[in-house]
Amino acid sequence: MLTRFMKLLKKHHCEFISIDELLSPSTFLNPSKNYVCFTVDDGYEDQTQQLIPVLLAHNAKPTLFVITDLVEGKDLPWDAQIATAVQASLCTELEVGTLGVPGEKWLSLKDKRQARRHLSFHAKRLERNARLQFVEDIKFRLCAKTPIDTSHYTPTNWQRLRELEAEGLKVGSHTCSHSPLSTLSKDDIRAELIASREILEKNLQAPSAVFCYPVGMSEDVDDRAREIVKELGYKGALTSEPGYFVRRSMRENLFDVPRLSLPASLNTAVRYVSWLEKMRAVSA
Q: How far apart are CA 214 and CA 179, in angstroms?
A: 6
By the 8 A CB rule, do 218 and 257 touch?
Answer: no
Instruction: Give the Cα separation of 279 and 273 in Å (integer).
Output: 10
Distance (Å, whole) CA 254 – CA 237: 6
Each residue's pLDDT tens digit, 114-133: 999 999 999 999 999 999 99
Give the whole-number percent of the chain exceeding pLDDT 90.
76
- Render pLDDT for 25-50 as a digit per residue (tens, 0 to 9): 899 888 888 899 999 999 999 999 99
Partners of residue 94 on adjacent β-strands? 107
Q: Where are the beta strands (DSSP E) in the chain?
A: 14-16, 34-36, 39-42, 63-66, 93-95, 106-108, 170-173, 210-212, 236-242, 257-259
* Class of residue 99 by CB neighbours under 10 A (exposed 0-12, middle 13-18, buried 19+): middle
CATH 3.20.20.370 placement within the chain: 2-73+156-283
**162 C-beta neighbours (distance < 10 Å), count:** 15
The pLDDT of residue 30 is 87
Least confident of 96-110, 186-200, 268-282: 268-282
Q: What is the pLDDT confidence band of residue 276, given thresholds at 50, 70 and 90?
A: low
pLDDT in tens, 223-275: 999 999 999 999 999 999 998 887 666 666 899 999 998 877 777 766 666 65
Contact between 56 and 167 under an 8 Å Cβ cutoff? The reply is yes
Helix axes 78-88, 112-123, angle to 10 degrees: 150
Q: Provide the pLDDT for residue 282.
A: 40
Report the CATH fold assignment for 2-73+156-283.
TIM Barrel (3.20.20)
CB distance 164 to 205 below 8 Å: no
